[in-house]
Amino acid sequence: MPLTDVAIKNAKPGDKSIRLFDGSGLYLEVSPSGGKWWRFKYRYDDKEKRLSLGVYPDVSLKEARQRRDDARKLLTNSVDPAENRKATKASKADRAANSFEVIAREWFAKNSVTWTDDHGSRIIRRLERDVFPWIVKQRANFSTL
């Protein structure tokens, strides 16, 4: 029987973790301290795995079901949802670490010690006013393609 909002709100912690199952691998885990985590239980390469989908009430029942469905779509395409999440997170961190702004600010910090204060302030002001916003705008235009 699927979970309801009333059943979730009324779930009380016990001595051990309690699992309230919704269906298709989705369940709510209630810890002894009272925390409520959405989990998705699945099998990949003949191994049972679990994926955290968020914390209740930050993630509603409807949203948890949507996240479960998204993970199930990945599984039907032979993609491990946990590995996909790790790869996505790593690529975001890599892009942020290697962004033009980060590199430009490192370049500025390294070279500005040899410049006059007036020249250094003009360079950073021009980067912040003209270049960095333009790159963000171009990235937004590119991502909509």
> What is the model's pLDDT at position 129?
92
Phi then psi for residue 12, to 5 deg, are: -105, 145
Long-range contacts of 87-92 (CB under 8 A, 24+ apart): none
Q: Between residues 88 and 32, which one has the greater pLDDT? A: 32
Pick the CATH number of 5-78 from 1.10.530.10, 3.20.20.70, 3.30.300.90, 3.30.160.390: 3.30.160.390
* pTM metric for this prediction: 0.63
For 34, 35, 123, the CA distances from 9, given in Å and listed in that order, are 11, 12, 56
What are the pLDDT digits (tens) for 91-126? 777 666 668 888 898 999 999 889 999 999 999 999
Residue 25 CB coordination number (10 Å): 18
* Residue 98 zone, left/alpha/beta (φ > 0; ψ -120 to 50; rest): alpha
4: helix, strand or coil: coil
Burial class (CB in 10 A: 0-12, 13-18, 19+), 49: middle
What are the pLDDT digits (tens) for 43-65? 998 899 999 999 998 999 999 99
Rounded CA separation 145/124 (Å): 31
> What is the model's pLDDT at position 89?
82
